[in-house]
């Protein structure tokens, strides 16, 4: 259920972030190559309408609206000429679909709003603030900037992977940013935004920014009391970037009083109207999107507010395809020419130092590395008893902080007791329980980006042990590889190591055998698992170092990837 303060009698407006949803749909559906009978690209149109149908049908709004950006420069460009200057041109195959989706919305009698000189975000902010006096507003977007608008009657309806979504209220914002909605702009002003070219304060990340705003309240008060910032490094960074901090504060704030005529009656809309719209149905038939036609059915009786969170159980494995469920995820793909160049096979790994953590001193050192404020990113992986994230459990985890150096931490007692499986390695001077407690605490405190290959699997595996990977950034090299080369195939770690890095990995079959007579990882000697696990995580970090700059060089790709 939604927060209790939302009365069932209050109207509910769902306002869609049009351009963000269209871009999301374009990159999620792009690899399918959907076209109309006349050859018009329709992937973005299909994805947009699919989400629209789903939300309106399931959430039963009383009002619906869509907002759009415009081609004209905005007041933000006048404030900062470099604003969004690093963005590339919109792909022509997406441009051709924009007027079509707008026409379809008109046929559906769903109002669209935009205003010259302002972004669609400002239009959403204005509509939301005006409507909240009479009803509840749900902003359909994955853009975290909208968290600054959240209050008792404005929520962020954030689409997640698969069929999941999350209705984000005040507590969700505090969990995400560390501050309430009214201070989100101040945190954003410090961290900046690479995609929109908002400078921020270089060298201070989300956690550091949140702590500063928690202590001082606003950017203005922070600088008024800058002499009270106890950390000399932070104080120096703030002093150096004073002008850009105040500039960024103006850029990130969503305006909520733009001169826009909004007629509440025009936004009144229900599932019954959408499902019985014969004009829209005819156009969808004409475009050849027949799977959407099943949505045109009599509306169900009754209505209900969206639940705070809806989840659906999905199986995950290391061999899972990154294409799965991308319609509701932030999976942006790119044209084939942007695919990472393949490197020659046979490249040498170079000098490697793989360490099995078996002493308390080594464990403490590992923890210090994970929580280091100077660490930008590290790779993480789990070794498990199998690929079913419900039935199987981790027996250890590996970490890599720089190429060629990796650590394996056993969590299986038979790998810690100095017995036969330890293969001559000494008995650990800590228990699996203690190791897990130390790692769990470190992962929660980390500020560095945690990188994994098929991250979803590792998330589930660690949650099976009651471990949360923390709220700092995360990244998935499997998704990154697919986004950069959606038609390339072979997104497993072995394939990507060979394709992108030119490195041949130890095959899993060397440890546990082929399908017939396959043994469990719990039967493999510790030394072998250490080499295998460390190589996995070493390859993951090297892969991230190759793919990350390519993502950052394509702003639309980067925005969707990092917002995931």
Task: Give the tens place of pLDDT for each residue, 45-92.
Answer: 999 999 999 999 999 999 999 999 998 899 999 999 999 888 877 887
Q: Which tens digit of pLDDT belongs to each residue from 296-340?
A: 864 443 333 443 333 232 223 333 333 333 333 333 333 333 344
Report whether pLDDT(544) > 60: yes
Look over the chain and give the mean of its residue pLDDT values, rounded to a whole number: 84
Report whether pLDDT(388) > 70: no
Report whether pLDDT(343) > 50: no
Q: Are 237 and 373 in contact (CB under 8 A)?
A: no
Angle at which helix 98-107 crosses helix 18-29, to 10 degrees, equals 120
Tokens for 143, please give them. 């853009």
0.85 cut: is pTM over it? no
d(C-alpha 487, C-alpha 356), whole Å:
38
Sign of CA dihedral 211, 217, 219, 224: negative
DSSP string, 410-433: E-SGGGTSSSGGGTTPPPPSS-HH
Enclosing H/E stretch for 136: strand 136-140
Q: Are 144 and 176 in contact (CB under 8 A)?
A: yes
Report whether pLDDT(3) > 60: no
* Average pLDDT of the residues in 222-250: 94
* Average pLDDT of the residues in 349-368: 94
Q: Are 475 and 544 in contact (CB under 8 A)?
A: yes
Question: What are the beta bridge partners of residue 355?
Answer: 407
Banded model confidence at residue 264, pLDDT cuts 50, 70, 90: confident
Please, is 298 exposed, middle or buried when counting C-beta atoms within 10 Å of its C-beta (0-12, 13-18, 19+)?
Answer: exposed
When the candidates are 3.40.30.10, 3.40.50.11740, 3.30.420.10, 3.40.50.300, the CATH number that belongs to 336-563 is: 3.30.420.10
CATH 1.10.150.20 at 181-252, yes or no: yes
- Helix, strand, coil percentages for the chain (3-state, nearest 5): 45, 10, 40
Report whether pLDDT(421) > 50: yes
Q: Which tens digit of pLDDT belongs to each residue from 479-509?
A: 888 888 866 667 789 888 988 999 999 887 7
CATH fold, domain 12-169+255-298, is: Rossmann fold (3.40.50)
pLDDT of residue 325: 37
pLDDT of residue 312: 30
Range with the poorest average pLDDT among 25-39, 191-205, 360-374: 25-39
pLDDT of residue 346: 52
293 — phi, psi (to 5°)?
A: -65, -25
Q: Are 179 and 210 in contact (CB under 8 A)?
A: yes
Report whether pLDDT(251) > 70: yes
pLDDT of residue 104: 93
Report whether pLDDT(517) > 60: no
Task: Name the residue among 454, 549, 543, 551 with its Cα closest to residue 502.
Answer: 543
Tokens for 49, please give them. 């309408």
361 — phi, psi (to 5°)?
A: -65, -40
CA 359 and chain centroid, separation: 36
Report whether pLDDT(382) > 90: yes
Q: Which tens digit of pLDDT belongs to each residue from 84-137?
A: 888 877 887 888 889 899 999 999 999 999 999 999 999 999 999 999 999 999
- Tell me the pairing of strands 136-140 and 154-159: parallel
Alpha helix (H) ranges present in 192-241? Answer: 206-216, 219-224, 232-240
- What percent of the chain clears pLDDT 90, i.e. is strictly above it? 55
Question: What are the beta bridge partners of residue 380?
Answer: 399
Task: Name the residue among 109, 105, 114, 116 with its Cα closest to residue 45.
Answer: 105
Report domain extents, the chain: 12-169+255-298, 181-252, 336-563
């Amino acid at each position: 259920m939604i927060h209790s303060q939302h009365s069932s009698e209050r109207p509910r407006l769902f306002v869609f972030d049009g351009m963000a949803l269209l871009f999301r749909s374009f990159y999620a559906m792009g690899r399918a190559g959907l076209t109309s009978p006349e050859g018009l690209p329709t992937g973005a149109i299909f994805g947009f309408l699919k989400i629209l149908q789903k939300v309106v049908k399931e959430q039963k709004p009383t009002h619906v609206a869509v907002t759009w950006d415009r081609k004209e420069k905005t007041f933000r460009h006048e404030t900062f000429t470099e604003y969004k200057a690093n963005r590339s041109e919109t792909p022509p195959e997406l441009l051709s679909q924009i007027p079509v989706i707008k026409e379809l919305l008109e046929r559906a009698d769903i109002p669209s709003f935009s205003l010259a000189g302002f972004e669609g975000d400002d239009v959403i902010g204005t509509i939301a603030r005006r409507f909240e006096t009479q009803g509840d507003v749900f902003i359909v977007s994955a853009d975290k900037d909208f968290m600054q608008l959240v209050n008792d009657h404005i929520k962020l309806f954030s689409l997640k992977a698969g069929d999941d979504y999350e209705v984000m209220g005040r507590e969700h914002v505090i969990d995400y940013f560390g501050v309430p909605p009214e201070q989100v702009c101040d945190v954003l002003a410090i961290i900046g935004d690479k995609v929109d070219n908002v400078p921020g304060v270089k060298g201070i990340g989300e956690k550091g920014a949140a702590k500063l705003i928690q202590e001082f309240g606003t950017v203005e008060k922070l600088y008024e009391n800058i002499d009270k910032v106890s950390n000399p490094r932070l104080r120096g960074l703030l002093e150096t970037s004073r002008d850009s901090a105040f500039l960024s504060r103006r850029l990130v704030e969503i305006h909520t009083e733009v001169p826009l005529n909004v007629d509440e009656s025009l936004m009144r809309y229900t599932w019954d109207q959408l499902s019985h719209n014969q004009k829209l149905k005819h156009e969808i038939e004409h475009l050849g999107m027949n799977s959407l036609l099943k949505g045109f059915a009599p509306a169900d009786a009754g209505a209900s507010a969206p639940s705070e969170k809806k989840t659906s159980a999905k199986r995950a494995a290391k061999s899972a395809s990154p294409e799965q469920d991308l319609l509701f995820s932030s999976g942006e793909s790119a044209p084939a020419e942007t695919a990472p160049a393949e490197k020659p096979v046979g490249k040498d790994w170079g000098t490697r130092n793989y360490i099995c953590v078996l002493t308390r001193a080594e464990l403490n050192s590992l923890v210090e590395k994970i929580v280091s404020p100077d660490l930008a990113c590290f790779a993480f992986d789990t070794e498990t008893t199998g690929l079913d994230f419900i039935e199987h459990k981790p027996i250890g985890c590996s970490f890599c902080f720089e190429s060629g150096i990796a650590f394996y931490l056993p969590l299986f007692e038979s790998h810690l007791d100095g017995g036969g499986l330890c293969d001559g390695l000494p008995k650990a001077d800590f228990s699996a329980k203690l190791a897990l407690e130390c790692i769990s605490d470190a992962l929660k405190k980390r500020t560095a980006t945690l990188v994994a290959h098929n991250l979803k699997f590792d998330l589930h595996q660690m949650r099976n042990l009651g471990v949360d990977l923390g709220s700092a950034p995360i990244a998935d090299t499997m998704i990154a590889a697919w986004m950069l080369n959606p038609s390339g195939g072979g997104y497993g770690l072995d394939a990507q190591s060979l394709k992108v890095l030119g490195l041949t990995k130890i095959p899993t079959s060397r440890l546990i055998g082929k399908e017939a007579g396959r043994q469990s990882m719990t039967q493999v000697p510790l030394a072998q698992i250490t080499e295998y696990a460390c190589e996995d995580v070493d390859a993951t970090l090297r892969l991230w170092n190759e793919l990350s700059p390519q993502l950052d060089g394509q702003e639309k790709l980067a925005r969707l990837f990092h917002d995931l």
